[in-house]
């Protein structure tokens, strides 16, 4: 603020605008915190039912739920499951946190090799891999970690890889209105590796191309080359 607001009235307005901004950010943070603690409380209420369900599963699998290693397993498993599905409670608005900036940039931005962990909605077994995201800003860029956070929101749910890819792409598209968004996910599905066909090295690749990535093959090719090279 030094030297920027020379006139006292102007200075007052200047400072007021600045403090308004602080207040607005604080309010958003407070609302976010409140929502978060409300959801945490809701999680806690549901814990006993989840625990009971896990205890019955353990017994029906033939295990002895009173042995030392399994004593607190229902609680831990229930909490783990709630963590692995926490994406249901989160929305893009929450995490974007106003981290969208006006920037005169309209070249491709790629964030690649984002580790992703999700749960297969058909077998409740994990699938995990890497996500590569590219977008061409339309004068609005987003904080880079926010792309990874968007991946987190949608992946911490019971998912199907195809839907996950699309949701990430559409989420970014709606938040930023860029010229184009491209999302590629390459993942290993434990439901195929640990059971069923049991193919250790198989990988599933899905992609969603929106906007200019869909229309222009050269743009798509540039994205694919840049994201696939080590």
Closer of 57 and 99 to another protein (Cβ):
57
* CA 199 – CA 107 distance, rounded (Å): 40
Task: Tell me whether residue 30 is exposed, middle or buried, using C-beta atoms within 10 angstroms of its C-beta: 0 to 12, 13 to 18, 19 or more.
Answer: exposed
Q: Tell me which stretch binds another protein (CB under 8 A): 10-18, 77-85, 202-210, 218-226.
A: 77-85
Task: List the one residue out of 227, 146, 148 whose CA is nearest residue 182.
Answer: 227
189 in catalytic set? yes
Q: List the one residue from 190, 204, 206, 216 that touches another protein (CB under 8 A).
A: 190
Active-site residue, from 5, 123, 177, 222: 123
Is residue 130 near another protein by the rule CB under 8 A? no
49 is a site residue for another protein (CB under 8 A): yes
Distance between CA atoms of residues 140 and 135, nearest Å: 11
Q: Which residue in the set 63, 174, 215, 221 belongs to the binding site for another protein (CB under 8 A)?
A: 63
- Structural tokens at position 55: 């205890």
What separation in angstroms does the CA of 120 have from each of 5, 60, 108, 126?
57, 22, 31, 6
What amino acid positions are annotated as catalytic residues? 120-123, 161, 189, 191
Residues at the contact surface with another protein, assessed by CB under 8 A: 46, 49-50, 52-54, 56-58, 60-63, 69-70, 72-73, 76-77, 80-85, 88-89, 115, 117, 121-126, 128, 158, 160, 190-191, 193-196, 200
């Amino acid at each position: 603020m030094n030297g920027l607001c020379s006139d006292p009235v102007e200075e007052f307005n200047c400072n007021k605008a600045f403090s308004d901004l602080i207040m607005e950010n604080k309010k958003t943070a407070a609302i976010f915190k409140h929502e978060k603690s409300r959801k945490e409380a809701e999680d806690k209420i549901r814990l006993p039912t989840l625990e009971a369900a896990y205890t019955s599963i353990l017994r029906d699998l033939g295990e002895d739920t009173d042995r030392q290693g399994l004593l607190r397993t229902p609680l831990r498993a229930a909490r783990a499951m709630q963590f692995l599905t926490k994406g249901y409670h989160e929305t893009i608005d929450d995490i974007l946190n106003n981290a969208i900036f006006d920037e005169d940039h309209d070249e491709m931005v790629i964030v690649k090799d984002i580790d992703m962990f999700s749960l297969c909605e058909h077998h409740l077994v994990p699938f995990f891999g890497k996500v590569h995201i590219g977008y061409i800003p339309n004068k609005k860029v987003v904080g880079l970690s926010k792309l990874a956070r968007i991946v987190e929101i949608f992946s911490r749910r019971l998912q199907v890889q195809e839907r996950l890819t699309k949701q990430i792409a559409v989420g970014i598209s709606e938040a930023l209105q860029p010229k184009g968004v491209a999302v590629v996910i390459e993942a290993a599905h434990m439901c195929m590796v640990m059971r069923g066909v049991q193919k250790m090295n198989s990988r599933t690749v899905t992609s969603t191309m929106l906007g200019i990535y869909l229309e222009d093959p050269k743009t798509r090719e540039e994205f694919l080359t840049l994201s696939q090279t080590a």
